[in-house]
Amino acid sequence: MFYDCVVVGAGPAGSTAAKILSSFGYRVLIIDSKIFPREKLCGGCVSAKIIDYIPQINSLAKASTNKAILSYKKTACLEIESKDPFAYFVERKTFDKYLLDSALENGCEFRNEKLLSLSYDDSGIEVFTNANNYKTIYLIGADGANSIIRKILHIKPKFLVKTLQVETIYYNDSNVNIDIGFKGLNYYWNFPQNGVWGIASTKKNINKLFFKYYGNDMLINPKGYFIPIAFSKKNLGKKNILLVGDAACLADPFSLEGIYNAIFSAHLASASILSYPKNPCQAYSALADKILEENKYSYFISKIVLNFPYFSFFQLSKGNENALADYLIGKKSSKELFWLLLKSLYQKTIK
Ligand SMILES: Cc1cc2nc3c(=O)[nH]c(=O)nc-3n(C[C@H](O)[C@H](O)[C@H](O)COP(=O)(O)OP(=O)(O)OC[C@H]3O[C@@H](n4cnc5c(N)ncnc54)[C@H](O)[C@@H]3O)c2cc1C
């Protein structure tokens, strides 16, 4: 069977790319090893800039927030508020199904199959699943954090962030709560959707850290997965094989938000195929520079916060609430925030 493009993975990245390409008349096949709607371990927090791509996010989301509470070791608090919502909370099961259905409405075909391997040379790409073989001109690797396509291309993440998350029975308000400074943790989060609590860490002993942080009482069945991080052009694919979303390791290294960049990168990869059909990967590398640069600066910010959490909280965050609110709402880039924090650090040091 022959397609113009095969998309592997029907998460936000894959469904977005499949929708765009099929709306331009490409014969697109999207495959996923799971039957939809499917569960996806995720906090479901999407920053407000998603409105550029999903204007109806307000009606798709279960909740939104315009207030974040930052804390240091569960004690000192800093409130960051914005006039408009800076984040929406989606249930991944319904959100991802909605995106896949939108792609199917545009004429792409879906098959519940698992990609096993592929071969590629100058004459084209062949995709082997548990049920069929497909020939295609373009392949979009949207197969998530543990991407088999990324492995076949011998591309590696820069590093992995481990996460553990649990849905609690505990009431939580409508704020996003973020805590920093706990030894070994990047941060802890509490989102206003089903009481989702989680931790992220680059350390090995995440289970131990989880119970050390929360205690044992209310935590039923925490689930974990990893988020791959990189900000290199090498991670975007080869020739006519383009990696998007988690497969390209594009989650934000600081906030660990991955849904927005999954959708954004799918737009860029599709535009590259449509506009530069002879060498889409090269075009995609150029277009994705914006994401890679943002992620590079987010990584720098995460380094400061991880290594100097006390200093970051008490010296850098306080007094910069407006800048942090602008960052959260997407009006300030991580590059701008990074330089602002550095300037603030310099001014406080010479005082
Ligand atoms: C605990 C946790 C909390 C998170 N919280 C947030 C958050 O609050 N906000 C946020 O923005 N991001 C969050 N993330 C990150 C976010 O979930 C991902 O960045 C996002 O899902 C990436 O989308 P994607 O389309 O690239 O991949 P995915 O959504 O992972 O989709 C990949 C798809 O590929 C399919 N697949 C995989 N392998 C194969 C194969 N061999 N054959 C066929 N199909 C295959 C899978 O079944 C899946 O449906 C969180 C991640 C974790 C682990």
Domain boundaries, the chain: 2-350
Report the b/e string of 146-159 with b at 16+ CB within 10 A: ebbbbebbebebee
Cα–ligand 1 centroid distance for 92 (angstroms): 9
Pocket lining for ligand 1, CB < 6 angstroms? 8-14, 31-34, 40-46, 114-115, 142-145, 148, 163, 165, 198, 225, 227, 245-247, 251, 257-260, 262
Ligand 1 pocket test target in 178, 193, 256 with most atoms within 8 Å of CB: 256
Whether 193 shows a pLDDT value over 70: the answer reads: no
Cα–ligand 1 centroid distance for 268 (angstroms): 18
Nearest alpha carbon to residue 260 among 95, 79, 80 = 95
Whether 97 shows a pLDDT value over 60: the answer reads: yes
Cα of 20 vs its chain's centroid, Å:
19
Cα–ligand 1 centroid distance for 28 (angstroms): 21
Report the distance separating Cα 343 and Cα 349, nearest Å. Answer: 10
Q: Within 10 A of 126 (CB to CB), how many other CB atoms are there?
A: 16
| Atom 39 of ligand 1, nearest CA residue | 143
Residue 84 binned pLDDT confidence (cut-offs 50, 70, 90)? confident
Whether 259 shows a pLDDT value over 60: the answer reads: yes
Radius of gyration of the chain (CA): 20
Cα–ligand 1 centroid distance for 341 (angstroms): 31
> What atom in ligand 1 is closest to the CA of residue 224?
1
Report how many helices (DSSP H) and strands (DSSP E) the chain contains, helices first: 11, 18
Cα–ligand 1 centroid distance for 37 (angstroms): 14
What pLDDT shows up at residue 267?
98
CATH 3.40.50.2000 is the classification of domain 2-350: no
As a whole number, mean pLDDT of residues 222-231 equals 92
Percent of the chain with pLDDT over 90: 60
